[in-house]
Structure 1
Amino acid sequence: MNDIDAWVWWLVGAAALGIPLVVTAMPEFGMFAVGAVAAAVVAGFGFGVVVQVLTFVVVSVALIAVVRPIAYRHSRQNPQLATGIDALKGKQAVVLERVDGSGGRIKLAGEIWSARALNGDLSYEVGQEVDVVEIEGATAIVM
């Protein structure tokens, strides 16, 4: 196998490693593919098979050792942007119909919601501003 064949084979290997990356979404395959590209570059400069394989192994292992822990930490973080009902918690609403422990209506984020008081002994009158503590189904729990 001459030098041209070697770098072509490394690029074929990189492309072959890219297929399971796309199919399985496992980033490790991408790191191996980058290692194969690095070995192709080394092969293109005319280095021998031993140096090519060492380059592949070193680059792949280095990427896994460095990138994988960083990606793991980022995947475990909670999203910084609250969406859906999580975005409504802590918002202020205006009482449209008297709200007490058994129910009522509020205007929250431009929409009319059924609501009930967190403390069943308290009631909130029309026009009063309340804070949304929790969302249970389609009912906002307010205080």
Structure 2
Amino acid sequence: MRVINGWLGALLLPLALSASAEEIGQVSTVFKWVGPNDKIVVEAFDDPKVEGVTCYLSRAKTGGVKGGLGLAEDRAEASIACRQVGPIQVPANLKDGEEVFKERTSLVFKTMQVVRFFDKKRNTLVYLVYSDRVIEGSPQNAVTAIPILPWHQ
């Protein structure tokens, strides 16, 4: 049992380190007679390692019967805007390309994720959202950058 728990913990640890999103709002884009409508959802999440940063992600969610049952595959398009919402302290152990948010966008094979980079030369945090699949990802992506500035209230 200890081996199984260790193996399961290793699989779940990356999920625990990723931020979880809070839904801010949504709009319907396609009416469906059966099941939920197709929609665009706006979510917010805080960077789990960099205090003072909140990211806003907008993305499509497929409705209908498959969407209502969690079987539909959502589109790869997404938009992201990250903002400084408080004093920013960049930890020394920050890794470029580190995942800060990840969500399943199909039953098994597709995810949308946000990764962070630190541009030391410009003292700027850069966030990239993209979608990938087990076999083939999508080149569609969006990027946002936050120059680290003194915080004044």
Question: Which one has a bigger Cα radius of gyration?
Answer: 1
TM bracket, shorter-chain basis:
under 0.3
Structure with larger RCO (C-alpha < 8 A, sep 6+): 2
Q: Larger strand proportion, structure 1 or 2?
A: 2
Q: Larger helix proportion, structure 1 or 2?
A: 1
Scaled by the length of structure 2, the TM-score of the pair is 0.23
